[in-house]
Amino acid sequence: MRVAVLGAGAIGAYVGASLCRAGVDVHLIARGAHLAALRAGGVRVLSPRGDFSAHPHATDDPADIGPVDYVFLGLKAHSYASAGPLLEPLLGPETALVAGQNGIPWWYFHKLAGPYENHRIEAVDPDGRTSEVMAPERAIGCVVYPATVIESPGVIRHLEGTRFSIGEPDGSVSDRCVRFSEAMIAGGLKCPVEPRLRDDIWIKLMGNVSLNPISALTRATMVEICEYSGTRRVVEQMMEETLDIASRVGSTPEISISKRIDGAQRVGHHRTSMLQDLEAGKELELDAIVAAVVEMADITGAPAPTLRTVHAATDLLARTTARQTASPTIRAA
């Protein structure tokens, strides 16, 4: 089995290192100081489950790799539509794309029986550009549960979790899913093949769609948001509205709102990925996490007032931050 990891950041390098120690032919695609460290010393994973190292091939040029059986996408979802030049050299006739992204995936309505089958979600597939680059037929959905960070170039700190739930858009338990699952398990990870993967997507999204934007607006950690009664109520309302939208498109996530919030609270003083991106001056991952959910509210007729309000506020935050980053600050003499 040949696997390329496109976007070998914290999660991507962790997956690549795990597959490598299972004997998979792994190729990491990265850049900058991180790439230099990967080339020089491989990936070093520091984990409460035990530290380990792996030495997969690392490059910044996918043409060095050629077609593979699977591409694990470690990119942020807003990068997908422009990833064509990086993906093209990796794609053979049967190459599968394992999309380890947050939020609503571009393939969400692909082969989903019902009134919205094959409906395109503009927020994550603008003008069909993502589907043009990543044909939905290639997609294997993936819900990423582990928390990892790049501690230093080439060094991944694994904080918690080992589960990567995967599944076909049509709900089948395919041979390609089973093979990938077996390789991940051999590498020390959990990788169940879920016939109803969309339910998993909504369970994780309940937290992402509420905690991530609230953290960006308030600069608060997850435990601070959950412990303060005002923001906790906002999170509850956003989760209620999210479950309503999920039910309208045929999903029934089996988790209570109180349990989902309690789980987030136990994570402690963790800064969400959206807050980390804001502090680092990076583009916020709003389209897949928030805008797509609001768009699904539009097409299903869901009111979603709190989701719409928070989306408007964070969208404006992203716009003003981008302007401030682009414009140099003028200081008085």
Which position among 111, 190, 204, 282 bears the catalytic label?
A: 204
In the chain, the amino acid numbered 218 is T
How far apart CA 144 and CA 161 sit, in angstroms, is: 9
Tokens of 123: 């927020």
Radius of gyration of the chain (CA): 20
For the sheet with 43-46, list strands across it: 52-54, 43-46, 155-160, 147-152
Task: Compute φ and ψ for 139, nearest 5 degrees.
Answer: -75, 135
Closest C-alpha among 221, 225, 248 to residue 302:
248
Q: Are 45 and 158 in contact (CB under 8 A)?
A: yes
Amino acid at 172: S
Within 154-291, residue ranges assigned H as helices are: 175-186, 197-218, 222-227, 229-248, 257-267, 273-279, 286
Q: Is 282 a catalytic residue?
A: no
Written in H, E and C, the secondary structure of 205-225 is HHHHHHHHHHHHHHCCCHHHH
**Which active-site residues does the annotation give?**
204
